[in-house]
Amino acid sequence: MAESDPEPVTFGAGHRLGAPETLGISTLDPGHRPPAMPPGRHVTIRVRMLDDSEELFDISQKASGKVLFDLVCSHMNLIEGDYFGLEFQNHQKMIVWLDHIKPIIKQLRRPKHTILRFAVKFFPPDHAQLLEELTRYLFALQIKQDLSSGSLTCNNSSAALMVSHIIQSEIGDFEESQCRSHLLNNNYIPDQMPLIDKIMECHSKNIGQTPAESDYQLLEVARRLEMYGIRLHPAKDREGTILSLAVAHTGVLVFQGHTKINAFNWSKVRKLSFKRKRFLIKLRPDLNSSYQDTLEFLMGSRDCCKVFWKICVEYHAFFRLFEEPKPKPKPVLFTRGSSFRFSGRTQKQVIDYVRETEFKKLPFDRKHSRVQHDSRLSPLPSPCHHEVVDSPPRRHWKESVLVSAEASRSARASPSQQRNGHEERTGPHLSASSGHSHGMVNGQKSLELCSHSPDGRQPSPLTSPLLNDACSVRTDDEDEVRRKRFPTDRAYFIAKELLTTERTYVKDLEVITVSFQSAVGQDEATPDSLKSTLFSTFEPLHKFHTGFLREVEQRLALWEGRSNAHIKGDYQRIGDVMLKNLQGLKPLTANLHKQSEVLFELEKACRASRKLESLCRDFELQKVCYIPLTVFILRPLHRLIHYKQILERLCKHYLATHVDFRDCRAALADVSEVVDQLQRSLIKMENLQKLLELKKDLIGVDNLLVPGREFIRLGCLSKLSGKGLQQRMFFLFSDVILYTSRGMTATNQFKVHGQLPLHGMTIRESEDEWGVPHAFTLVGQQQSVVVAASSLTEMEKWVEDIKMAIEMAKTSNGPSSDLLTKNTNDSSAEAESEDDMAASQTSLERPAPHRGNTMVHVCWHRNTSVSMVDFSIAVENQLSGNLLRKFKNSNGWQKLWVVFTNFSLFFYKSHQDDYPLASLPLLGYSVTVPSESENIHKDYVFKLHFKSHIYYFRSESEYTFERWMEVIRSATIPSSRARAMNSKESHPH
């Protein structure tokens, strides 16, 4: 009955892109214990780890396979355990994977005498998708085993190169006698002796590589081999030819010996099934193909067939589905065929979970070197026997960095936490930067809690900051009493916004006039013309605004009544101060026009001097440079827009008879005149600034900066290829679309895979054609690309902008669309495959790091997009001031100085700080008012929410509450181009 056609796998629209998202809560999630142990007799299970050590686990026979597997992962502190499995030899002498759903007693006949082997089950196409060092280390051990056993076949050059990375990880830098002795005593590949000299030669080139980098390089070589991750299953075709079948992330493969002779991608396969010994592959109809509709292979037995079919089911679900498939309802009377289904998180869920979790990844303590024969795989010592109730959650080796102060006070520290106690007591979790270990953006030396990830970059910049009371005093009702003494007039709060934003602006000017000029001024690589332009442009502006800030501070002190002077005069106004200073700013209009000159001079000088380019890049990595350097250069132009907005609010608030109305209206007329003069220049400068910023984020682009090219939109789309849906970063310009992927390189940059010229392009909606939600096809003259957006809103924004760009390309004699360097594949070819990418550079050739908190990285992690119109609107929506942040697990509130700019919140102790302590990119967040059920019994509170991250902030007045809600919504609410344009029209520059 089961042999008739047991359980076909039908590949349709099912659970692909756009399916309801669940994080697939695992028993290993922080704060979760492994599942409760079922009652019944316990048995000790022996598991052999990838480093050949053995561990014993005490478990109920009635427990499911997943309970045991979760115990093993918990023992190793392994978050990305879904790539692995437990395999064993069943009673038919076949190697099978432990089923997560079935009870152990139904799978292991003699559990006491069975050794389960922990091994890699799913091999992803790119090890850059493995986000933790521990995971890559385990993969490296698997490669080492496969090399040693001969199952990973390759030529001598590849074998020698891989062994050199293995021994670099184990014994460190090359020393001839030590290396030769080690190779004579340890065999890494069959017939190793003839290759010893070649291995030593390769090892000598690895000097400086850390064990983590060696693992990465080992995987970089291994993943290009045809037999990487391949397990052969003997079979025959209809003619009786001896073959082997295998399954990979791309689909089902056919081998003859160790040579791949055919491949059936998942996109071409409609159904997989088996009948007795016959394994059947049913293909989608293809008029251009000579293949039959159904292919048939004969395997050794029905059980062999079923084992391979199960593996195919799991591979397809893990790499192609977006969430774990739901179980089918059980038949009432009888079953027909196998009820097997994939159980666990899919690759997408694993990647999303690791990126979203608040628990940052720390390099684990490596104790695996062959020199240390008595070591164990686990980064922390642990007992030999493990019970579910005693198994610690994942958190215990991470929380020394990430637990906020109020949580750490109540938690009992483990020995490892006590060793790192100084880290628990210090300030916030730093979020957004890549940089030198001694000068990270958004952090102080005492607060540098983010460790480097294994490849030398900072961890993801996109998790929310965990700020504790070390940053500032908690505030209580006494602060509210003190605040009530201040004026409540709306005009006062508008004037106070002028003060708070002016403080931030003067600090931003100091980044150029003090920090940057000091960095480049003493370097001989900096041309005198650039030094002169910088000094003559920004010094007068800084001097003027320092005086302006002093006057505003004095006026606000009088307005607030902090002295008796307000009794003798009418100081509750600001228009006279603004009018006087805006008239004083008019002679400096020439300096404002020179912002473009500064940008061009800086770009020209960096092109001419590699040393100056490196110096500027290093400066951007300093904590004082919390946003891109080119944004600081345009700050004076943007500040005029803020003055205009503030004066518009004052004029709207005042009655015509108010004493301050006439001065405010006159000041508004003055600033509007200057803004109108600079409008066209500002639009061009913003486009140039964005092109300069994107140039630093991209690898493989030759000539991004050409006259006439306009940036339109950047963001994430999933690209459909033979390997399935793969996340790609797309960049839309007025003449071309680039698509890229993010590699595991120290530079944090995106590798360009291909380009699509807009001239002659058309768009076709493809959701029904491919069975993928929110999909559309970009049909070019030389190639077509199928992409899918993360939501209907995202798809509409992309389609609208691309159609607009296509129309622009029709009427424009714009730039050539050939953007790619000679090393990048031609645009007419399918250039997106990671297999075509050049191997990453070794540590000796490692490029300098690049900042990792740009909008490109935010969009990548949040799977969203942002347009040039959004960037222009963001310029208008900047704000600074004090906010109170609610502690996570108490009723206390923490006072912070907060700056909102560049779609992000930046947190400081006070406005006098030179650099932020932490940052929070807001793309993807929503901002709302807390509900009654949340028990926030305070006025003027708003709530920031992104998936599992929730933060409450409190402002001092109704006006400031409205302003914070307004500016944050500008960065969090997805808006159409029409809405964005309307907003631009309502606030013309």
pLDDT in tens, 686-734: 999 999 889 888 888 878 888 889 999 999 999 887 777 888 999 999 9
Is the pLDDT score of 27 beyond 90? no
Query: Do 108 and 180 reside in the same domain of the chain?
Result: no
Residue 194: domain span: 127-223
Tokens of 976: 């159409």
The predicted pLDDT at position 738 comes to: 93
Higher pLDDT, 17 or 305: 305
CATH of the domain at 600: 1.20.900.10
- Nearest Cα to Cα of residue 715 among 689, 750, 746: 750
Is the pLDDT score of 392 beyond 50? no
Query: Do 713 and 785 reside in the same domain of the chain?
Result: yes
Within the chain, how many helices (H) and strands (E) appear?
Answer: 29, 30
The predicted pLDDT at position 32 comes to: 39
Sheet holding 115-120, edge to edge: 54-60, 42-48, 115-120, 84-89, 95-97
- Considering only the C-alpha atoms of the chain, give the largest distance between any 2 of them, rounded to a whole number of Å: 107
Look up the pTM and report it.
0.61
Query: Do 725 and 606 reside in the same domain of the chain?
Result: no
148: amino acid identity, one letter: S
The predicted pLDDT at position 563 comes to: 54
Query: Do 581 and 651 reside in the same domain of the chain?
Result: yes
Matching residue, tokens 């490892």: 416
Query: Do 602 and 721 reside in the same domain of the chain?
Result: no
- Nearest Cα to Cα of residue 394 among 82, 34, 717, 38: 34
Say if CB 751 and CB 743 are below 8 A apart: yes
- The rounded distance, in Å, linking the Cα atoms of 739 and 717 is 9
The predicted pLDDT at position 364 comes to: 62
| Residue 983: band (very low, low, confident or very high) from pLDDT cuts 50, 70, 90 | very low
Say if CB 571 and CB 558 are below 8 A apart: yes
Top mean pLDDT of 520-529, 535-544, 758-767 is at 535-544
250: amino acid identity, one letter: T
The predicted pLDDT at position 163 comes to: 95
Is the pLDDT score of 886 beyond 80? yes
User: Is 146 part of a structural domain of the chain?
Assistant: yes
Say if CB 331 and CB 1 are below 8 A apart: no
The predicted pLDDT at position 396 comes to: 31
Mean pLDDT of the 384-407 span: 33
Top mean pLDDT of 96-110, 633-647, 762-776 is at 633-647
For every residue of 117-136, DSSP letters joined together read EEEE----S-GGG--SHHHH
Query: Do 625 and 555 reside in the same domain of the chain?
Result: yes
First-last CA distance in the chain: 75
User: Is 938 part of a structural domain of the chain?
Assistant: yes
Say if CB 799 and CB 807 are below 8 A apart: no
Is the pLDDT score of 245 beyond 70? yes
| Residue 967: band (very low, low, confident or very high) from pLDDT cuts 50, 70, 90 | very high
- The rounded distance, in Å, linking the Cα atoms of 391 and 146 is 31
Query: Do 218 and 236 reside in the same domain of the chain?
Result: no
- The rounded distance, in Å, linking the Cα atoms of 135 and 329 is 35
Tokens of 435: 């940089």
Give 680's contacts (C-beta < 8 A, 6+ positions apart).
none
% of residues, the chain, pLDDT over 90: 34
User: Is 705 part of a structural domain of the chain?
Assistant: yes
Say if CB 337 and CB 5 are below 8 A apart: yes
Digit-coded pLDDT (tens) for 277-329 = 899 988 887 655 555 678 889 998 888 999 999 999 899 888 888 776 666 55
- Nearest Cα to Cα of residue 763 among 715, 803, 811, 817: 803
Decide the pairing of beta strands 698-699 and 750-757: parallel
For every residue of 141-157, DSSP letters joined together read HHHHHHHHHT-S---HH
Interior angle at CA 747, CA 424 and CA 863, nearest 5: 75
Query: Do 508 and 623 reside in the same domain of the chain?
Result: yes
Digit-coded pLDDT (tens) for 814-852 = 555 566 654 444 333 333 333 333 333 333 334 455 565
Tokens of 138: 């385990």
- The rounded distance, in Å, linking the Cα atoms of 701 and 717 is 20
User: Is 818 part of a structural domain of the chain?
Assistant: no
Is the pLDDT score of 668 beyond 90? yes
- The rounded distance, in Å, linking the Cα atoms of 713 and 856 is 11
Higher pLDDT, 974 or 128: 128
Last residue of a domain, one of 695, 711, 736: 695
* Number of C-beta neighbours around residue 264 at 10 A: 18
- Nearest Cα to Cα of residue 751 among 646, 824, 662: 824
Q: Poorest-confidence range of 437-446, 453-462, 926-935, 967-976? A: 437-446
For residue 989, what is the enclosing H or E element?
Answer: none
Measured over the CA atoms of residue 653, residue 655, residue 659 and residue 661, the dihedral's sign is: positive
User: Is 428 part of a structural domain of the chain?
Assistant: no
The predicted pLDDT at position 499 comes to: 95
Q: What are phi and psi of 97, to 5 degrees?
A: -90, 145
Looking at the structure of the chain, the number of domains it has is 6
* H-assigned helices in 595-628: 595-608, 610-620
Query: Do 83 and 184 reside in the same domain of the chain?
Result: no
Tokens of 978: 């029409």
Top mean pLDDT of 349-353, 485-489, 687-691, 837-841 is at 687-691
Matching residue, tokens 């990838």: 50
Q: Is 892 exposed, middle or buried (0-12, 13-18, 19+ CB in 10 A)?
A: middle
Look over the chain and give the mean of its residue pLDDT values, rounded to a whole number. 77
CATH of the domain at 176: 1.20.80.10
Say if CB 778 and CB 802 are below 8 A apart: yes
User: Is 482 part of a structural domain of the chain?
Assistant: no
- Nearest Cα to Cα of residue 746 among 461, 458, 460: 458
Say if CB 661 and CB 671 are below 8 A apart: no
Mean pLDDT of the 877-890 span: 88
The predicted pLDDT at position 824 comes to: 42
Measured over the CA atoms of residue 517, residue 521, residue 525 and residue 526, the dihedral's sign is: positive
Interior angle at CA 48, CA 47 and CA 54, nearest 5: 85
Last residue of a domain, one of 223, 245, 280: 223
- The rounded distance, in Å, linking the Cα atoms of 162 and 839 is 13
Q: Poorest-confidence range of 250-254, 671-675, 821-825? A: 821-825
Digit-coded pLDDT (tens) for 427-461 = 333 333 333 333 333 333 322 223 333 344 444 44
Interior angle at CA 403, CA 398 and CA 408, nearest 5: 115
Query: Do 517 and 553 reside in the same domain of the chain?
Result: yes
The predicted pLDDT at position 128 comes to: 81
Is the pLDDT score of 989 beyond 90? no
User: Is 152 part of a structural domain of the chain?
Assistant: yes
| Residue 273: band (very low, low, confident or very high) from pLDDT cuts 50, 70, 90 | confident
Tokens of 207: 């000097």
Query: Do 660 and 525 reside in the same domain of the chain?
Result: yes
Query: Do 509 and 554 reside in the same domain of the chain?
Result: yes
Last residue of a domain, one of 757, 776, 811: 811
CATH of the domain at 247: 2.30.29.30
Give 467's contacts (C-beta < 8 A, 6+ positions apart).
404, 427, 428, 429, 885, 894, 896, 907, 917, 918
% of residues, the chain, pLDDT over 70: 73
Is the pLDDT score of 360 beyond 90? no
Q: Is 415 exposed, middle or buried (0-12, 13-18, 19+ CB in 10 A)?
A: exposed
Instruction: State how far Cα 709 lies from the chain centre.
Output: 28
User: Is 806 part of a structural domain of the chain?
Assistant: yes
Q: Poorest-confidence range of 217-231, 372-386, 651-665, 970-984? A: 372-386
